[in-house]
Amino acid sequence: MTRTRKAALASLILLPVLAGGFALQARSTRGGAQLLDQVLTFVALRYVDTLDAQQLYEKAARGLVKELNDPYTELFTPKQLEEFSRNTNGRYAGIGMEISKVGDYVTVNKVFPNSPAEGGGVQEGDKIMIIDTTNARGFNTQQVQNKLLGPIGSPVNVTFGRIGVTQPIKIGFKRAEIHVPAVPYAMMIDDRTGYVPLTRFSEQTTEDIANSVMDLKKKGAKGIVIDLRGNPGGILDEAFAMSNLFLPKGKELLSVRGRGDFQKFVAERDPLAPEVPLVVLVDGGSASASEIVAGALQDYDRALVLGTTSFGKGLVQSVYNLDGGYALKITTGKWYTPSGRSIQKERKMNAEGQFVEVLPDSMETDSVRKARPMYKSASGRTLYGGGAITPDVIVAPDTLSSAEQAFRRAIAPSFQKYFNHIAVIAEGQKGKVKPDFAVNPAWREELYQKLTADTVKIDKAVWDGGAPDIDRAIEDRVAKIAFGDTLVRRRSLKDDNQLRAAIDLLKKAAVQKDVFTAAGTAPTVTKAGVARRSGN
């Protein structure tokens, strides 16, 4: 993306703190520097427990970071930095599996395409029994991950247990760089509507989205739903590149304002899909890069945004490499949509040390919206500022009954055991059920008996009251284990009124304006570009 100035990763040299480390500070701040010098000196010399210099400096640095009261500013150890980079980039060196704990063993939840695991014939539901010569029974997912990750090209042998196969299956792999798909799957919901869930913004997000959109168009998609619900964000450049798939070259996508600094990000390329009608789904878990995309598409009337208010993470973090393999991720600016709306929602730390919204408004009542600053989209639709992305159409998710809520509260302390036993039951149905299967009440009873035997105490009346919620959980897991993600989505459509609302809006839409008209949010004024703030 074109910028007035690109942010760079800087390598900082840590100055010694003791013995005049702040000698270059302005005279007016030397008192504070002297205070820190003195505290560090007395802790180093007089504290009852001995701390080496490295521990002392790290504790001082962590204390400084903590006192900023910014949940997004963090000091990373070398190991934490490696994990952060892996999660952000969506790449790592391993064999290419998503795993979860099921019973005594960690089990394969998904096999990534073009990975050593796929090439070796690993299947979803396989249990990881032995890694090299280490028995993995009782291991948690982190312990298994630590054994499976390693240098590219290095060997690792894994022995799997597979349902229906009496003998363990031993497979030798060579670790490779793994690409974790940002789009786990894409599908046609009906004969004219495509659906693309986006789980993260990693290095391949734009490519994954582009391939999915073009594939769906070839299959006859006349409108597409992009699902950003629960997407926490990721790489900033991918948010711009993804927006550019749908917005014309030269359009402003985002601006960043820091301490005396201003950057503007502009679409560089001609769009891949400038016309196909879009609905973007968001919720309280849609944050950061997700909000950048939703905000840009909303500002230019390129997509209708539907769901509930997004998270409101509009702070920019830069990562600075430090000596010794450490790194500092620090907030350096705020994001603004093309119309000038700040994405950051105000939060303060409560007594429990948690950051909470100053004005919680996840359902965006009329009175709350009217109290917020108003902006205009490119064609005159009213948009709301004050932090986060307010949907054009607010649709609350399906709610649980009071009995289901009571069940969830009761099972919460034992949720991991609950999930593990559901997975065991689901694996037992693989190869036995058809895509149109119905949840057998006997499965629910079997689950209750397994939990009881596993020392989980839950009142039977509470359990029975939660039956619909339990059956949904069993249904999803059986569908996933037996047939994969697309069947899970297709079967769960009956419980997803947000997605159903999006599909209904796209059914008769030939162009994007038709979607706004169907939703009752059609623009009343036509203007060039993007209008800025109006009114209060």
Nearest to 508 by CA among 518, 521, 494, 522: 518
Cβ–Cβ under 8 Å, residues 372 and 385: yes
Q: Give the contacts of 400 (CB within 8 A, at least 6 positions apart).
A: 408, 469
User: How much is the pLDDT for 427?
Assistant: 84
* Same domain as 369, residue 252: yes
Q: Are residues 393 and 444 in the same domain?
A: no
348 shares its domain with 481: no
Q: Find out whether 277 and 506 touch, Cβ atoms under 8 Å.
A: yes
Active site residue ranges = 288, 299, 313
pLDDT of residue 36: 82
Return the pLDDT at 2.
43
Residue 424 lies in a domain: yes
Q: Is 322 helix (H, G, I), strand (E, B) or coil?
A: coil
Q: Is residue 149 domain-resident?
A: yes
- Residue identified by tokens 């037992």 is 428
Distance separating alpha carbons of residues 70 and 348, to the nearest angstrom: 9
pLDDT tens for 224-264 read 999 999 999 888 899 999 999 999 999 999 998 888 778 89
Residue closest to 362 by CA, chosen among 207, 229, 234, 271: 229
The predicted-structure confidence for 313-336, as pLDDT tens digits, reads as follows: 888 888 899 988 999 999 888 899
Q: What one-letter code names the amino acid at 104?
A: D
Which string of DSSP letters, residue by residue, matches 180-193?
A: PPSSS--EESSSSE
- Structural domain tally of the chain? 4
Instruction: Read off the pTM.
Output: 0.77
Confirm if 222 and 228 have CB atoms less than 8 A apart: no
Amino acid at 240: F
Do 287 and 426 fall into the same domain? no
pLDDT of residue 240: 93
The encoded tokens of residue 46 equal 């007089």
Q: Does residue 156 share a domain with residue 63? A: no
**Using an 8 Å Cβ cutoff, are 96 and 84 in contact?**
no
Q: Has residue 73 been placed in a domain? A: no
The pLDDT assigned to 348 comes to: 66
Residues of the chain with pLDDT under 70: 1-31, 87-91, 347-368, 522-536
Q: What angle do CA 185, 187, 193 make, to 5 degrees?
A: 145
- Do 129 and 161 touch, CB atoms closer than 8 A? yes
Which 8-state DSSP code applies to residue 2? B
* 83 domain-assigned: no
pLDDT at 450: 93
Which CATH number characterizes residue 236's domain? 3.90.226.10
Residues 312 and 291: beta-carbon distance below 8 Å: yes
* Phi, psi (deg, nearest 5) at residue 409: -65, -40
Name every residue whose Cβ is closer than 8 Å to that of residue 104 and which is 6 or more positions away in sequence.
137, 138
Task: State the Cα–Cα distance between residues 439 and 418, nearest whole angstrom.
Answer: 17
Same domain for 518 and 380: yes
Q: Using alpha carbons, select from 297, 316, 315 the residue that is nearest to residue 306.
A: 297
List the CATH number of the domain containing 117: 2.30.42.10
Note whether 169 and 234 are same-domain residues: no
Helix (H, G, I), strand (E, B) or coil at 303: coil
Domain that holds residue 451: 402-495
Query: Is 72 domain-assigned?
Result: no
Are both 429 and 449 inside the same structural domain?
yes
Q: Can you tell me the distance from the alpha carbon of 536 to that of 534, in angstroms, rounded to the nearest whole number?
A: 7
Whether residue 61 is contained in a domain is answered as yes
Regarding whether 38 and 175 lie in a shared domain, the answer is no
Other C-beta atoms within 10 Å of 313: how many?
24
Tokens encoding 306 = 């539907």
Give CA–CA dist 295/69, Å, rounded: 27
Percent of the chain having pLDDT more than 90? 53
